[in-house]
């Protein structure tokens, strides 16, 4: 749910349960993933706290793309059509780039994220007739990830980051969202730290 004037969901519950089974070379590879998100409004207009939780399990001991989960990055492309806040996705892990020397691959996992979304800053007049901004909104997030059976032997990870989204309108009719973000990720077992910058322009459908 969201109140009048909000630009994103401000409170509520969202759950999902997904099962899948891959079949190849005469073998079945079943897996299951569940998620539970809970959001509450904080004091002040359009300010909220979200707790986002997910867990997954693969029933096969075989090591292949059908039996393992991997985690990395904000997930946004430079030019994107998907959601601007992809750090909320189950397999996103901001701070750890796709080409980083660290790889997180697991047979089972538990992931929890806390996210604080601040009130949007609305612009009365910023830009010109054919290119102007409507609002900007800043969000902070921190998450913990526990896995097993990944390639490097590390099982505990954490990250901390922020993202600012700005809604703009181009050529008077085309709304787009410019996203900027930064996050650090930590391998808690090996005491290693990684960083990632993100910039993305979302074209609205």
Please determine, for residue 118, whether its predicted confidence score (pLDDT) is greater than 70. yes
Taking 90 as the threshold, does the pLDDT of residue 140 lie above it? yes
pTM, whole model, 2 decimals?
0.91
**Phi and psi at residue 167, to the nearest 5°:** -85, 125
Separation in Å, CA 203 to CA 26, 119, 130, 173, 200: 42, 23, 16, 12, 10
C-alpha–C-alpha distance, residues 5 and 46, integer Å: 8
Residue 80 neighbours by CB under 8 Å, 6+ apart: 200, 201, 202, 203
- Contact 194/98 with Cβ under 8 angstroms? no
In a 13 Å sphere around the CA of 179, the CA atoms on its Cβ side amount to 26
Q: What is the mean predicted confidence (pLDDT) over 121-146? A: 92
**Residue scoring higher pLDDT (64 or 73):** 73
Task: For residue range 90-113, list pLDDT tens digits in order.
Answer: 999 999 999 998 889 999 999 999
155-177 per-position pLDDT tens digit = 999 999 999 999 999 877 889 99
| pLDDT at residue 205 is higher than 90 | no
pLDDT class of 63 with cuts at 50, 70, 90: confident
Please report the pLDDT score of residue 149 as a whole number.
Answer: 67
Q: pLDDT value at position 150?
A: 65
Nearest to 54 by CA among 117, 144, 115: 144
For the chain, the first-to-last Cα distance in angstroms comes to: 22
For residue 31, the model assigns a pLDDT of 94
Confidence of residue 17 (pLDDT cuts 50, 70, 90): very high
Q: Angle 36-48-177 (CA atoms, 0-180°, nearest 5)?
A: 90
Mean of all residue pLDDT scores within the chain = 92
Among candidate residues 178, 194, 15, the one with its CA nearest the CA of residue 93: 194
Please give the full DSSP string across 34-57, using - where no structure is assigned. EEEEEEEEPSSTT-EEEEEEEEEE
In the chain, the percentage of residues whose pLDDT exceeds 90 is 71
pLDDT number for residue 60: 87
């Amino acid at each position: 749910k969201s109140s009048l004037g909000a630009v994103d969901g401000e409170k509520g519950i969202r759950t999902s349960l997904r099962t899948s089974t891959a079949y190849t070379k005469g073998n079945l590879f079943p897996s299951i993933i569940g998620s539970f998100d809970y959001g509450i409004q904080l004091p002040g207009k359009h300010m909220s706290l979200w707790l986002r939780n997910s867990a997954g399990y693969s029933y096969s001991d075989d090591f292949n793309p059908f039996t393992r989960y991997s985690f990395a990055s904000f997930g946004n492309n430079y030019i994107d059509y998907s959601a601007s806040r992809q750090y909320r996705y189950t397999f996103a892990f901001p701070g750890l780039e796709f080409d980083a020397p660290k790889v997180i691959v697991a047979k089972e996992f538990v992931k929890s994220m806390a996210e604080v979304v601040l009130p949007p800053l609305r612009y009365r007049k910023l830009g010109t007739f054919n290119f102007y901004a409507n609002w900007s909104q800043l969000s902070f997030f921190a998450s913990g990830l526990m896995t097993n059976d990944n390639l490097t032997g590390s099982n505990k990870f954490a990250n901390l980051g922020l993202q600012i989204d700005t809604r703009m309108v181009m050529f008077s009719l085309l709304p787009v969202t410019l996203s900027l973000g930064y996050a650090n990720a930590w391998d808690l077992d090996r005491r290693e730290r990684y960083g990632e910058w993100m910039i993305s322009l979302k074209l609205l459908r």
